[in-house]
Amino acid sequence: MGEEQQERDRDAIADLIVTYNELNSSFIEELHEEPSALEFMRFVARNTPFVVRGGAANWKATQTWTAEYLSNFLGDETVNVAVTPFGNADAPTVHPETGALVFAKPHEEDQSFSDFLTYVIHQEKTQGLRKSEVRYAQTQNDNLRQEYSSLYSAVPPTIPWARIALSDPHRLGPDEEAQPEAINLWIGNSLSTTALHKDNYENVYVQIRGRKHFVLLPPHCLSCVNERELESGGYVRRKKQKGENEDEEGDENGEEENGEEEIGDKGGMELVMEKDSETGKEVTVPFAIWDPDKPEENATRYSKLAEPMRVTLEEGDMLYLPAMWYHKVSQSCSQEGICVAVNYWYDMDFTGPLYPFTSFVRAVNQQQQHNKKNAESP
């Protein structure tokens, strides 16, 4: 009897994971034209991802959003920028002082768009600068209809097949149609990586410039990803020490006296842990600490059973990322040195079986962790 079969015989969670793997492909289905609303609904019902190759190739954004166009169009408009020392925004991170694994949020600051884009491109194209702080436009707060509203007309206001398929009269009302909860714009370089996580949204992800590399796991793989309560902290810029010469370090916008971009020193950032304003206790965040690209690290007994799905989006491609799917995202830049994407978040349907099912898997996983902890206690 194989090791996998023995695992299944003694553990229902292992049986769930292996059975799913046996019944479902580990490759993402590729379409070469956008689906009808009915076809899309079938994928939603199965909670299964797919890619539409070239589905957004004719969008105005895909055809016009070059680095030069964006820089000229947005110019010195002020935008919010996420800054981290390693491109590790919202990610499990080893605290440099305590050695503990914590959840690290980025430092956020306002910069002119032209300065931001110049930095991103300069860092991407200059080998010696790739160890400097990493900047990423990633606010995830409907920023394309808010902060970047001047660009909004270059993309559709909704994805037609998603709008029709997700318009449930019992959930939204007889005259209501599903509209995106948020439309987000992402701009950065290849040094930014999004850690493995999940969202409670039906997600349509569109690649505009460069490439995105996705690693996907279905919701029932919660027991594989080693979700833990991590103390939460955020990066802040270190305050200048008394006696430091500010003129030598350049101004806060990263400009030196010679007019060249000053590349940020990651040593100028520190990780400050959060405290609850009422209780004074540490703030914690439940987050996956297993990385499918480093499968031996932080693994659980189930991690070896996971069969990650991998897909790369080229310019103009669209990805349907179902609600509650775990995803890790890395990126490669265009020849210009940037990576640009847009995604549409639609509310998931909490009335169906998906959310109760994932809640049940989480409860079983937590009970197993609790039992293991008790068994190990003296």
List the structure tokens of 244: 């430091």
More confident residue, 249 or 67: 67
Give φ, ψ of 50 to 5 degrees: -155, 165
pLDDT at 300: 95
Domain range spanning residue 204? 3-240+261-376
pLDDT at 260: 36
Find out whether 92 and 103 touch, Cβ atoms under 8 Å: yes
pLDDT at 109: 97
Domain containing residue 270: CATH number: 2.60.120.10
**Is the pLDDT score of 250 beyond 70?**
no
Confidence bin at 376 (pLDDT 50/70/90): confident
Nearest alpha carbon to residue 343 among 161, 184, 211: 184
pLDDT at 256: 41
252 lies in a domain? no
User: pLDDT tens digit string along 101-151?
Assistant: 999 999 999 999 999 999 999 999 998 777 899 999 999 999 999 999 999
253 lies in a domain? no
pLDDT at 171: 59
pLDDT at 375: 79
pTM comes to 0.89
pLDDT at 368: 82
246 lies in a domain? no
User: pLDDT tens digit string along 2-61?
Assistant: 665 655 556 889 999 999 999 999 999 999 999 999 999 999 999 999 999 999 999 999
48 lies in a domain? yes
User: pLDDT tens digit string along 188-235?
Assistant: 999 999 999 999 999 999 999 999 999 999 999 999 999 999 999 999
CB atoms within 10 A of CB 80: 15
pLDDT at 374: 79
CB atoms within 10 A of CB 40: 23
174 lies in a domain? yes
36 lies in a domain? yes
Question: For the chain, what is the domain count?
Answer: 1
**Three-state DSSP state, 167:** coil
- If you average pLDDT over residues 173-201, what whole number do you get? 91
Helices (H) and strands (E) in the chain, counts: 10, 18
Q: How far apart are CA 267 and CA 277, in angstroms?
A: 28
249 lies in a domain? no
Confidence bin at 169 (pLDDT 50/70/90): low
